[in-house]
């Protein structure tokens, strides 16, 4: 049963006019995505703690439930019932708005992620899909900066300043890296980009034109965008206590956590969509339809998630000046070079 069918049923059940079914579909889709987001975050945190434990020769959580699987649920419950403090000197209005500004963009990105083949597995295939992702995810910078400022705490202010510089610098290579697949697929719609990679493993955009470069630039820049570990300067525990979210507790802190983990799933999903063939199977025509496409999609994105966790366990944090130099002197030139090569590839391919 499709979402539209359910919506029409609900509309007729409550005696609403037929035109309202569009809105019911929207609300249902939003609720499903929210539930899905919470679920991915729960699983992600558990897997992260287990995997980090294995890599560091520890056990990870073991006590809550069999093999500790209820640990994240317990933590989430603790966060929800914890007292929600607002510092006396903090700017109340901004302090309250900031976590929302971080959380909402992370949630909105899910709208255009294609989980599988066809229109059932994507909330809305916008014709400016990729541009939408870039636009929406650029809003969360504001939330982080405001959180740092509003807390009225020197550490969090430093964290906010750092994140402003970092997020703005790495948005450029990220957007440029995204251009490669866009030029190859000649579309910004996520489903079109996936469809352009349907010819098996070697038609994936990671292997087309300039192999690997665009993918690596995108992944590294995105890691910087979501404050993932080698680039977690805005919150670096050992130097800034917890950076921009020192003063947050309870619900509001949970919002930051949720946004962070949701974002680390979405960038993996987007990287899989843009460069690893999305929901296509690696072999042309092999199990490449229906629910199998969902399976392939989640296989690819979880592989990338695990890669990120591995990186998290491996690399030490970079310094601020190293971060800036790396961004401006290496990432942006590389991203521009990638755009140039892909452009030449597409132009020459068309010419003959």
| Cα(192)–Cα(112) distance, integer angstroms | 12
| Cα(91)–Cα(149) distance, integer angstroms | 9
In this structure, the number of other CB atoms found within 10 A of the CB of residue 17 comes to 7
Of 59, 100, 168, 283, the one binding another protein (CB under 8 A) is 168
CB nearer to another protein: give 127 or 289. Answer: 127
- Candidate ranges 26-34, 56-64, 92-100, 315-323; the one touching another protein (CB under 8 A): 92-100
**Measured at the alpha carbon of residue 172, what is the angle toward residues 170 and 176, in degrees to the nearest 5?**
125
Please, are residues 265 and 43 in contact by the beta-carbon 8 Å criterion?
no
CB nearer to another protein: give 163 or 338. Answer: 163
CB nearer to another protein: give 135 or 307. Answer: 135
How far apart are CB 56 and another protein at their closest, in Å? 36
User: Using CB atoms within 10 A of its CB, is residue 351 exposed (0-12), middle (13-18) or buried (19+)?
Assistant: exposed
Please, are residues 101 and 136 in contact by the beta-carbon 8 Å criterion?
no
- Structure token digits, residue 188: 């910004």
CB nearer to another protein: give 73 or 97. Answer: 97
Site size for another protein, by CB under 8 A?
31
How far apart are CB 46 and another protein at their closest, in Å? 33
Of 46, 110, 149, 297, the one binding another protein (CB under 8 A) is 149
| Cα(74)–Cα(51) distance, integer angstroms | 19
29: nearest Cα among 101, 119, 89: 119
Please, are residues 298 and 73 in contact by the beta-carbon 8 Å criterion?
no
> Does 225 contact another protein by CB under 8 A?
no
How far apart are CB 88 and another protein at their closest, in Å? 14
Of 146, 184, 259, 305, the one binding another protein (CB under 8 A) is 146
Of 37, 112, 123, 145, the one binding another protein (CB under 8 A) is 145
In the window 114-143, what residues touch another protein (CB under 8 A)? 126-128, 131-132, 134-136, 138-139, 141-142
260: nearest Cα among 146, 109, 78: 109
Give one DSSP letter per residue of 11-39, joined into a string. Answer: HHHTT--GGGHHHHHHHHHHHHHHHHHHH
Of 90, 164, 177, 318, the one binding another protein (CB under 8 A) is 164
How far apart are CB 135 and another protein at their closest, in Å? 4
Question: How many CA atoms lie less than 13 Å away from 296 in the CB half-sphere?
Answer: 27
> Does 100 contact another protein by CB under 8 A?
no
How far apart are CB 142 and another protein at their closest, in Å? 6
How far apart are CB 143 and another protein at their closest, in Å? 10
| Cα(141)–Cα(100) distance, integer angstroms | 12
Q: x/- binding map, residues 3-42, to another protein, per CB under 8 A?
A: ----------------x-----------------------
CB nearer to another protein: give 43 or 142. Answer: 142
Please, are residues 133 and 109 in contact by the beta-carbon 8 Å criterion?
yes
> Does 239 contact another protein by CB under 8 A?
no
- Candidate ranges 74-82, 148-156, 236-244, 282-290; the one touching another protein (CB under 8 A): 148-156
> Does 180 contact another protein by CB under 8 A?
no
How far apart are CB 165 and another protein at their closest, in Å? 8
At 225, phi and psi to the nearest 5?
Answer: -65, -35
Please, are residues 20 and 4 in contact by the beta-carbon 8 Å criterion?
no
* Site residues, another protein (CB under 8 A): 19, 91, 93-94, 97, 126-128, 131-132, 134-136, 138-139, 141-142, 145-146, 148-149, 152, 157, 160-161, 164-165, 167-168, 171, 188
């Amino acid at each position: 049963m499709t979402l539209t069918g359910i919506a029409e049923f609900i509309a007729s059940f409550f005696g609403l006019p037929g035109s309202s079914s569009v809105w019911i579909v929207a609300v249902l889709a939003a609720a499903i995505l929210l539930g899905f987001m919470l679920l991915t975050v729960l699983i992600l945190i558990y897997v992260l703690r287990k995997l980090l434990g294995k890599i560091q020769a520890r056990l990870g959580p073991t006590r809550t439930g069999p093999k500790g699987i209820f640990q994240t649920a317990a933590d989430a419950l603790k966060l929800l019932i914890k007292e929600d403090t607002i510092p006396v000197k903090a700017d109340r209005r901004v302090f309250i708005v900031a976590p929302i500004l971080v959380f909402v963009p992370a949630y909105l990105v899910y709208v255009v992620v294609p989980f599988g083949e066809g229109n059932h597995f994507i909330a809305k295939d916008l014709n400016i899909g990729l541009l939408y992702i870039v636009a929406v995810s650029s809003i969360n910078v504001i939330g982080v900066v405001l959180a740092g400022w509003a807390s009225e705490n020197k550490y969090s202010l430093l964290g906010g300043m750092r994140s402003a510089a970092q997020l703005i610098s790495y948005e450029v290579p990220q957007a440029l890296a995204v251009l490669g697949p866009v030029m190859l697929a000649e579309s910004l719609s996520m489903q079109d980009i996936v469809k352009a990679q349907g010819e098996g493993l070697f038609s994936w955009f990671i292997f087309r034109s300039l192999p690997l470069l665009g993918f690596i630039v995108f992944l590294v820049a995105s890691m910087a965008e979501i404050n993932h570990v080698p680039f977690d300067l805005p919150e670096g525990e050992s130097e800034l206590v917890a950076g921009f979210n020192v003063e947050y507790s309870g619900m509001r802190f949970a919002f930051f956590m949720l946004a962070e983990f949701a974002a680390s799933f979405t960038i993996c999903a987007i990287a899989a969509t843009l460069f690893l063939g999305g929901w296509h199977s690696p072999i042309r025509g092999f199990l490449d339809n229906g629910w199998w496409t969902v399976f392939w999609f989640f296989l690819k994105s979880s592989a990338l998630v695990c890669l990120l966790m591995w990186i998290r366990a491996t690399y030490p944090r970079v310094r601020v000046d190293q971060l800036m130099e790396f961004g401006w002197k290496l990432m942006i030139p590389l991203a521009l070079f990638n755009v140039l090569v892909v452009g030449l590839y597409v132009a020459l391919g068309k010419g003959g």
